[in-house]
Structure 1
Amino acid sequence: MRQIVMDTETTGIDPREGHRIIEIGGIELINRRFTGRTYHQYINPEREIEAEAIEIHGITNERVANEPVFAQIADELWEFIRGAQLVIHNAPFDVGFFDHEFRLLNAARGEPKLGPTADHCSVLDTLKMARQMHPGQRNSLDALCKRYDVDNGQRVLHGALLDSEILADVYLAMTGGQTALSLAGEEARSSGEAGGASGIRRISRDRVSLSVTQPSEAEWEAHRQRLDQIRESSGEVQWDKLASAESPH
């Protein structure tokens, strides 16, 4: 499955008032893995950026004065996102701006027409997902970073590419971050690491016994909290199956 984790920065909050996109960032995931492929572009919005918006993202009129306008980058952006699932925090905001830009472009040049976004991409709103998973709690990107132990120390001001990278980590944690571990195990088995083609290594019965260190109560509590997070997002964890299998009947 191909996903693009995306974020935008804009001149203001409402495209119906003529506000435009000034920065786009996107991170590509395939089957929940980072591919290394990204999209990042500053854009000249052909209008002034509101002072309140500059306070949020720090992008000034001077910074984007010599950047390309949306019409110059639209086709490259469209090829990057078309057919993917877009993962966006507060998706109606960003998708609304994309569709506004596409409408302006289509009206100016006629063909080929781009958009609407949802006709060519599926959209997953992580804010809506977070509100369902954590009702009554703060679900901003910063709050989710704290909840899922995602490092956002570099996030002083909003920035489209940085926020996309952070959101990708949050999204993977929200939806059960065990996938990468299980895939890594599959790769090791398929490549025959640690024990030949079958992935099995025989261990001598005469080996020295290893000491077992029991976890502290604080470590057990952290473990239980992490399992609860995974159960909330994916419904079950392998630990529950193992514990059930080992319990006396």
Structure 2
Amino acid sequence: MREIVFDTETTGLDPRSGDRLVEIGCVEMVNRVPTGAVYHCYFNPERDMPAEAEAVHGLSIAFLSDKPKFAEKAPEFLDFIGDAPLVAHNAGFDFGFMNNELEMCGLEPVSRERMVDTVAIARRKHPGAKLSLDALCSRYGIDRSHRTKHGALLDAELLAQLYVELQGGRQIGLELAADAPGGASGVFEETVAVTSSVTRIFRSPRPHAASAEELARHAEFMAGFSEPIWSR
């Protein structure tokens, strides 16, 4: 199954108030294994960058001023995601900005039926726990030491690892289809080869019946009970 894990960076929190998308990063996964295919692009938001937003992701208007507008890249973005489910952390936020940009281009929004929200998954698995990407990466031992600021592609790559853990961890690799990138069947064949080379040692059954002497001692012991409950 093909899935796209993605993340966005924006000028603020609400596209309805004029906030815009400035970065998107996507990681392709097949059968929950990253294929190495990614989509990453910065966008000129055609507006200012609030200081509080720049403090989060470090993207200034000076940096973004020569970047393409979303409308220029929308076709290649849609081609990359295809019809795959889209996985995001607090996915409603990212879908809101993505669909706002698509609608501004006169394009159809992406159906929310394709949305997979890792916050909702984490909340079911860990009720009452902190659900930020940082907190969940710490819980699952995912290295985020290189994450000094938010970045759409970096966060999508971390989220891809977290998504696997939330779905059961590395063990799911044992169930991969043969068409997975890198050949899941190759992993299986290697395991068989290793297993088949092991020499199994079979031991003869050990006697476990009580001896006559042990049975006599047991009978003597049992006779010492006065009115045992099992005789009633």
Is 1:118 matched up with 2:111? yes
* Structure 1 residue matching 2:26: 3-state secondary structure: strand
The TM-score normalised by the length of structure 1 is 0.73
Q: 1:52: Cα distance to partner?
A: 0.7
Classify the secondary structure of the residue corresponding to 1:194.
helix
Equivalent residue for 1:97? Answer: 97
Find the structure with the greater CA-based Rg: 2
Q: Whole-Å Cα distance in 2 between the matches of residues 62 and 145 of structure 1?
A: 32
TM-score by length of 2: 0.78
Q: CA deviation at 1:132?
A: 1.6
What is aligned with 2:159?
167
Provide closer, same or farther for how the CA distance between residues 186 and 48 of structure 1 changes in structure 2, counting only shifts above 3 A: same
- 2:47 paired residue number: 47
Matched residues in 2 for 1:185 and 1:205: separation? 31
Query: How much has 1:3 moved relative to structure 2?
Result: 0.5
- 1:194 Cα deviation from its structure 2 partner: 2.6
- Residue 67 of structure 1: aligned partner: 67
Q: 1:128 aligns with which of 120, 126, 141?
A: 120
3-state SS in 2 of match to 1:66: coil
| C-alpha distance after superposition, 1:75-101 (max 9, x if no partner) | 000111121110100011110001110
SS at match of 1:92: helix
**3-state DSSP of counterpart to 1:103:** helix
2:130 to 119, 138, 153: 138
Q: Which residue of 2 aligns with 1:203?
A: 199
2-structure distance, mates of 1:15, 1:38? 25
Structure 1's unaligned 5+ residue stretches are 107-113, 207-249
Q: Deviations over 1:144-167 (max 9, x none)?
A: 001111111111100000000000
- Give the aligned residue type for 1:170: L
In the alignment, residue 117 of structure 1 is paired with which amino acid?
V
Name the residue aligned to 1:194.
193
Find the aligned partners of 2:51 and 2:184 in 1 and give their Cα distance.
50
Aligned residues: 195
- Provide the rounded CA distance (Å) in 1 between the counterparts of 2:57 and 2:191: 48
| Highest RCO, 1 vs 2 (Cα 8 Å, sep ≥ 6) | 2
Give the deviation of 1:115 after TM superposition: 2.5
1:30 corresponds to: 30
- What is the rounded CA distance, in whole Å, between the counterparts of 1:147 and 1:164 in structure 2? 17
Identity of aligned residues (%): 45
Name the SS of the counterpart of 2:9 in structure 1: strand
